[in-house]
């Protein structure tokens, strides 16, 4: 199935395309955001002595979250480029 490039000059079509684009790799981007937030929480818990977790674990969780966010952003950008090409 090949999709044609949207007409971004038409406000209704532009709004529909933006809604469509928001859904591309949404789960991957949100998972990355949540993992990065959890990693930040682990760092805060380590700093204030609430949890005794290894420092490498907190940084690893933040790193995986950042990689997921970058992957989601790249997928969305690629989708946009392919869709604009028609």
Q: What is the pLDDT of residues 10-56, one digit of tens each?
A: 999 999 999 999 999 999 999 999 999 999 999 999 999 999 999 99
pTM: 0.84
Which value, to the nearest 10 degrees, does the dihedral of the CA atoms of residues 28, 29, 31, 32 take? 120
Question: What pLDDT shows up at residue 1?
Answer: 55
Going by pLDDT thresholds of 50, 70 and 90, the confidence category of residue 72 is very high
pLDDT exceeds cutoff 80 at 58: yes
Q: Where are the beta strands (DSSP E) in the chain?
A: none
């Amino acid at each position: 199935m090949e999709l044609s490039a949207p007409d971004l000059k038409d406000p209704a079509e532009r709004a529909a395309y933006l809604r469509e684009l928001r859904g591309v790799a949404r789960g991957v981007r949100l998972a990355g955001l949540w993992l990065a937030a959890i990693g930040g929480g682990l760092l805060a818990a380590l700093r204030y002595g609430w949890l005794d977790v290894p420092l490498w674990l907190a940084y690893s969780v933040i790193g995986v979250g950042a990689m997921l966010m970058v992957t989601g952003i790249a997928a969305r950008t690629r989708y946009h480029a392919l869709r604009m090409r028609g």
